[in-house]
Amino acid sequence: MSWFCDVELGPPIEVFALTKQCTEDTFEQKVNLGVGAYRTNEGKPWVLPVVRAAEKALANDETLNKEYLPVLGIDAFSSAATRMLLGEESPALVENRAFGVQTLSGTGALRVGAEFLARNLGKTVFYYSSPTWENHKLVFKNGGFLEGREYRYWSEKTRGLDIDGFLEDLRNAPEGAVIILHACAHNPTGCDPTEEQWRQIAEVVKERKLFPFFDSAYQGFASGDLIKDAATVRYFVQQGFELFCAQSFAKNFGLYNERVGNLTVVLNNAELVAPVKSQITLVIRGMYSNPPSHGARIVSYVLSNPDLYNQWRDNIRTMSSRIIEMRKKLREALEVLGTPGDWTHITNQIGMFSYTGLNEIQSLHMVKKHHVYMLRSGRISMCGLTPSNVDYVAKAIYETLT
């Protein structure tokens, strides 16, 4: 007899299970398009040169030690991260009604933000796009939310955004519901609303008194331009919204396993900063007490040094332009082969992921027959494509569809 007899076996997490399966596969031409991590043209993980430089400098800095950080992390880091998101001139920053909190990457920012909203504002309902990054549901449920509801987003038919369905679902949302919005480079579809569509979305969010919780996992990584990728969040701030934004530095700094993130909080009154901060402090204190320092020190060091900052922007452009190039190459290869269907969505989409339009059976066939590892939903990570495997992948798609 054990206390644990009734514990049921949980389902595997698809993306991790897929990576394991790929690692164990001995087929030479196998391609991993599952995992969301940058790869070079040679298919190798990349530590950004600017990160290496910062790590060397930090390793030699004898003034740094291993004492605990404050509960809310390194202030210089969270301020720099918040400025990077909102822009130096943001009205919210000028009026001292915005601040940042260091978190355990983007996931941690979502989790802390969700728990605060559930605990302190009594929020119970959250909305997420259909489809969304699959962890949103678990994070918000674990954060204390009772009910997750979908809003329409992706249209199979047009392989683009279902803006009418999106707006209609928001219009039917109950007042006060929290709505998760991808700041840019929507995961998994790679399909973002246009500027005009964001304006319509903002209007409905305002009208229905919903609370926008942005998820910004790809600033700079999506277009290569930090300002462009933050434009939507900045637009909402200009429109006077109070909002949360979870920022991840996993992709744009390549700091996946260092777990460096920031929760940006925008309020409409500077007097609310102290009480809100104090309650977030209690949420974090009771969750993991305080964050690690290594990744945040790197980001902070780079963001505060003009020379390194420029180098970092070059590094980001290297990554985003390689991805854009791979989109072009994949589409071209599919079209040259005469693959059935329209492939313009591959180059219209942005960021790390692409929804290919392949269905579950076809995606499983890609894995089984061709050793091209991709999610059942038809999502591929563009980062796994290289000049040497893109033709192989295109041929596999062609064979699957014909």
Element (H, E) at 334: helix 306-337
CA separation for the pair 180, 193 (Å, rounded)? 14
Binding to ligand PMP (CB under 6 A) within 264-283 occurs at none
Q: Answer yes or no whether residue 103 interacts with ligand PMP by CB under 6 A.
A: no
Residues 6+ apart with CB under 8 A from 254: 38, 45, 46, 47, 48, 51, 319
Q: Answer yes or no whether residue 248 interacts with ligand PMP by CB under 6 A.
A: yes
Total chain residues near ligand PMP (CB under 6 A): 13
Residues labelled catalytic: 133, 215, 251
- Distance of closest approach, residue 160 Cβ to ligand PMP, in angstroms: 19
Q: Which listed range, 6-14, 103-111, 265-273, 297-305, lies at the site for ligand PMP (CB under 6 A)?
A: 103-111
Peptide bond preceding 291 in cis form (omega within 30 of 0): no
Q: For residue 370, which of 19, 25, 24 has the smallest C-alpha distance? A: 25
Query: Is-contact 317 153, C-beta < 8 A?
Result: no
Q: For residue 279, which of 293, 296, 267 has the smallest C-alpha distance? A: 267
Q: Which listed range, 39-47, 105-113, 156-164, 225-233, lies at the site for ligand PMP (CB under 6 A)?
A: 105-113
- DSSP 8-state code for residue 30: -
- Distance of closest approach, residue 63 Cβ to ligand PMP, in angstroms: 29
Query: Is-contact 394 341, C-beta < 8 A?
Result: no
CA separation for the pair 256, 37 (Å, rounded)? 8
- Distance of closest approach, residue 292 Cβ to ligand PMP, in angstroms: 14
- Distance of closest approach, residue 181 Cβ to ligand PMP, in angstroms: 10
- Cβ proximity to ligand PMP, 137 vs 395, nearer residue: 137
If you count DSSP H runs as helices and E runs as strands, how many of each does the chain have, helices first? 15, 13
Q: Which of 100, 106, 220, 224 binds ligand PMP (CB under 6 A)?
A: 106
Q: Judging by DSSP bridges, how do beta strands 379-381 and 353-355 pair with one another?
A: antiparallel
CA separation for the pair 147, 176 (Å, rounded)? 13
CA separation for the pair 136, 150 (Å, rounded)? 11
Structure tokens at 199: 């304006």
Q: Answer yes or no whether residue 105 interacts with ligand PMP by CB under 6 A.
A: yes
Q: Which listed range, 18-26, 86-94, 100-108, 387-395, lies at the site for ligand PMP (CB under 6 A)?
A: 100-108
Q: Which of 133, 221, 241, 253 binds ligand PMP (CB under 6 A)?
A: 133
- Distance of closest approach, residue 270 Cβ to ligand PMP, in angstroms: 29
Q: What angle do CA 352, 353, 355 make, to 5 degrees?
A: 165
Q: Which of 36, 193, 254, 384 binds ligand PMP (CB under 6 A)?
A: 36
Other Cβ atoms within 10 Å of 351 Cβ, number: 29
Q: Which of 50, 217, 296, 326 binds ligand PMP (CB under 6 A)?
A: 217
- Cβ proximity to ligand PMP, 212 vs 333, nearer residue: 212
Q: Which of 73, 261, 291, 295 binds ligand PMP (CB under 6 A)?
A: 261
Q: Answer yes or no whether residue 192 interacts with ligand PMP by CB under 6 A.
A: no
Q: Answer yes or no whether residue 191 interacts with ligand PMP by CB under 6 A.
A: no
Residues in contact with ligand PMP by the rule CB under 6 A: 36, 105-107, 133, 182, 187, 215, 217, 248, 250, 256, 261
